Amino acid sequence: MLTMLGAVFLAASVGGFAQQPSQADSTPIRTKSPLSDRSRLPQALQKVPLEHLSSGALMLLDRDGDLVEWPAASEAPATGLGPSLETATAAATAVALDPRVGANVRLGNDPIVLPPTLRAQAEPHIARALNNPNLLLATFQEGRFTTAGAVDCGFSVSRNGGLSWSRALIPGLTQTSGGPYFRATDPVAAVNAGGLLYLCTLAAGEVNFATGVVLVSRSIDSGATFAAPRVAYRAPNNTVFPDKNWIAINTFPGTPTFRRIVVTFTLFASGSTAEGAPIARTYSDDGGFTWSAATFIHPANTKCPRIAAGFPAQWQAGGCLLEFRIGDEPGRATRSCRL
């Protein structure tokens, strides 16, 4: 997804729903037959319907135009500075992708409750339901401040693979959407094996964001409504601050922790986020209603860099694999551990 001029856009793969170009479009979209040789695709994608891949993935997988019709070479004069803005814009407009790739779609209008001068979005994230690939959940900051956090965090839901979207603020989060918190940031989306939708956010307990609260909101009706956010972690005082939160859900039936939700965050000493800090985790086994006490995933005096906090990357047999890095020195390898 892209954040451009205060609007959130998504380039969607549209499958059989591809729209025909308008009469004003002078570049027709070429119709192609399905890819015949799938053996050249990465093993994990060989059985995935191509209509469920993003435009970026299709362009990366394209071989000699069998998936994407690329634009003709630019006719800009060889000035040594690249094409002019007009030429580059015209070339971008003339791009004709495979019918399975849709144009950028704006995820709804800005909520009217946002201040007129605070309508920019930031930090978008998207998740797809495994049991229903047409169900997509996107989230992003709404009304980003220049200092810290945003007026609120919003979400968008698509039930047709990205062709159309609903959009709203996360209910009960900040005071803008009926909640108790002053600001919000770091939104992350996740979907469990049954299609329940989850949003993880970081909220300000004070107007200056001196205290942080990690929250999780849940929807049981495909995003039509979200319940009030539950507290996954609340900083005990303003000497520590949780940041860089992330969420992952075990979607592997038959594993001991099937449906477990894990939230991780870096616990900084307040005012020292540039120096790194240890990573903590909490989990829920009842759908996000209650959360375990937060514990560090490594010795508490270990400092991970601010720009490379831990993310629950994937679930495997036996637990969730967390990827993180220790230290800021060049060449320092990423590490992983099971939660």
Top pLDDT among 73 and 156 is at: 156
Residue-level length of the chain: 339
Structure token pair of residue 91? 């070339």
Give the mean model confidence (pLDDT) for residues 48-62. Answer: 75
DSSP 7-69: EEEEEEE-GGGPPPPPTT--SPPPP-PPPS-GGGS-GGGTTS-GGGS-HHHHHHH-STTSS--
Question: What's the pLDDT band for 230 if we cut at 50, 70, 90?
Answer: very high
Give the C-alpha separation, 185 to 106, whole Å.
21
d(CA 328, CA 274): 11
Please give the full DSSP string across 136-189, using - where no structure is assigned: EEEEEEEEE-SSSSEEEEEEEEESSTTSS-EEEEPTTSBGGGT-SBS-EEEEEE
Q: Quote the mean pLDDT of the chain.
A: 76
Per residue in 250-262, pLDDT (tens digit) is: 888 888 888 999 9
Q: Position of tokens 């609903």? A: 166
> Given a cut of 60, is residue 248 above it in pLDDT?
yes
Q: Please report where in the chains the tokens 């909520």 appear, as a residue.
A: 111
Higher pLDDT, 146 or 287: 287
Question: Per-residue confidence at 274, pLDDT binned at 50, 70, 90?
Answer: low
Contacts of 299 (CB under 8 A, 6+ apart): 278
Residues 6+ apart with CB under 8 A from 81: none
Q: Is 76 a residue whose pLDDT tops 60?
A: no
Hey, how many other C-beta atoms are within 10 angstroms of the C-beta on 88?
A: 13
* Weakest mean pLDDT among 115-119, 161-165, 205-209, 312-316: 312-316
Percentage of the chain with pLDDT > 70?
A: 65
In the predicted model, is pLDDT for residue 93 greater than 60? no
Q: Of all residues in the chain, what percent carry a pLDDT higher than 90? A: 39
- Quick one: average pLDDT of 111-117? 93
Per-residue pLDDT band for 225 (boundaries 50, 70, 90) equals very high
Mean pLDDT over 238-245 rounds to 90
Overall average pLDDT of the 278-304 stretch: 85
Kindly report, residue by residue over 10-23, the tens digit of the pLDDT. 655 434 333 333 33
Structure confidence at residue 75 (pLDDT) = 41
Nearest to 11 by CA among 167, 158, 199, 110: 158
Taking a C-beta distance cutoff of 8 angstroms, is the pair 66, 31 a contact? no
The model's pLDDT over 159-176, given as tens digits with 9 standing for 90+, comes to 998 888 999 999 999 999
Tell whether the torsion through CA atoms of 307, 180, 122 and 134 is positive or negative: positive
Q: Is the dihedral of CA 112, 115, 116, 119 positive or negative?
A: negative
Which pLDDT score, from 0 to 100, does residue 266 have? 87
User: What domains sit in the chain, N to C, each tagged with a CATH number?
Assistant: 19-99 (no CATH), 105-338 (2.120.10.10)
Tell which residue, 91, 108, 156, has the closest CA to residue 128.
Answer: 156
pLDDT per residue as tens digits for the range 26-46: 333 333 456 677 888 887 778
Q: Which tens digits make up the pLDDT trace of 311-325?
A: 554 555 556 666 655
Residue 215 half-sphere exposure toward CB, CA atoms < 13 A: 29
The 8-class DSSP code of residue 111 comes to: P
